[in-house]
Amino acid sequence: MAGAGYRTFASGEVLTAANTQTYLMDQSIAVFADATARDAAITSPAEGQYAFLKNSDTLTFYTDAWSTFTQGGSAGSVLQVVSVTKTDTFSASVSSVSFGANVTGLSASITPGATSSQILVSVSVHGMFSSNAPIMQGRMLRGSTPIGVGATAGSRTSVSGASGNSGTSSGATMGHLSLETLDSPATTSEITYNFQPFNTFGSSSTVYINRTQADSDAAGAMRAASTITLMEVAG
């Protein structure tokens, strides 16, 4: 049965039905409750041997030590990429010194292949606020959990990043915010990443995404695109 350990058969040895069942069939890939049970049963693992761990739903293999097998390669390999580009515009009122709602169309979902995987989240946002300020600030979220934000310090607001100068006034230009963080969701369920703008001004303001405040119908006016890209990185 699985867990009987690793056996090397001698040349000319008669292979019994019990040995066939125990070592060849049940242990093509041995199944254990966890790494502790695996190590107790396989005290002298051989290079290339595999074992499945039920507690973490991971497939492990032995070289000089036990390692986790990940689809697509070893630790650090990119396993899958999901990218969404928002080309239309978005606008919404944001209360003073508050985060706005998730930007519609600027979200992406991914299902990690292993709990050990990390997700490299990259967000690029173009836009401004109705105070004629070509700036952009905000935070990334995994579901409703902020990620890649600054440490809490008193009454200060933790954001993922900010760009531009609030003292600059122009309704005909846009700010650009580029964000990136390596997230560790520790799940194999589908997860969705979003972006929320932050209004740093002392009164309510409208945030504009992919457009200027003036948004004149003229060749000199601009429209932009914003993106969110997710990369699953093997742990």
User: Which of these, 68, 77, 143, 75, lies nearest to 110 by C-alpha position?
Assistant: 143
pLDDT band for position 4 (50/70/90)?
low
The pLDDT value given to residue 161: 97
pLDDT for position 154: 96
Residue 68 CA to residue 157 CA, distance in Å, equals 39
| Assigned token pair, 200 | 């740093």
Query: Which tops the pLDDT comparison, 102 or 23?
Result: 102
Residues 94-144: pLDDT tens digits? Answer: 999 999 999 999 999 998 878 888 999 999 999 999 877 788 999 999 999
Domain 17-69 is found in CATH 3.40.1620.70:
yes
Q: What is the mean pLDDT of residues 142-153?
A: 97
Q: How many CA atoms lie within 13 A of 14 on its CB side?
A: 3
Q: What are the extents of the domains in the chain?
A: 17-69, 78-233
The reported pLDDT for the residue numbered 58 is: 81
Which of 127-131, 146-150, 164-168, 225-229 has the least mean pLDDT? Answer: 164-168
Q: Strand ranges (DSSP E) for the chain?
A: 30-32, 50-53, 58-62, 66-69, 78-86, 90-94, 98-99, 108-110, 118-129, 136-142, 145-147, 161-163, 175-183, 191-199, 205-209, 226-233
- Report residue 6: phi and psi, to 5°: -95, 135
100 Cβ contact partners less than 8 Å away, ≥ 6 residues apart = 92, 93, 94, 138, 196, 197, 198, 199, 207
Task: Measure the CA–CA gap between 181 and 10, rounded to whole angstroms.
Answer: 54
Paired tokens of 58: 């991971």
6-10, 63-67, 77-81, 108-112: segment of lowest average pLDDT: 6-10
* Tokens found for residue 162: 């900010």
What are the residues facing 197 on neighbouring strands? Answer: 138
| Residue 3 pLDDT > 70 | no
CATH number for the domain running over 78-233:
2.60.120.1340
> How much is the pLDDT for 199?
94
- For the cut 80, the answer to whether the pLDDT of residue 1 exceeds it is no
Which has the closest alpha carbon to 90: 81, 100, 99, 76? 100
pLDDT at 134: 84
Instruction: Say which residues have a Cβ less than 8 Å from residue 168's Cβ, sequence separation at least 6.
Output: 133, 134, 135
Cβ–Cβ under 8 Å, residues 193 and 108 = yes
For 160-177, the pLDDT digits (tens) are 999 976 666 666 788 999
Rounded Cα distance, 211 and 223, in Å: 5
Question: Do 17-69 and 78-233 come out as alike in CATH topology?
Answer: no
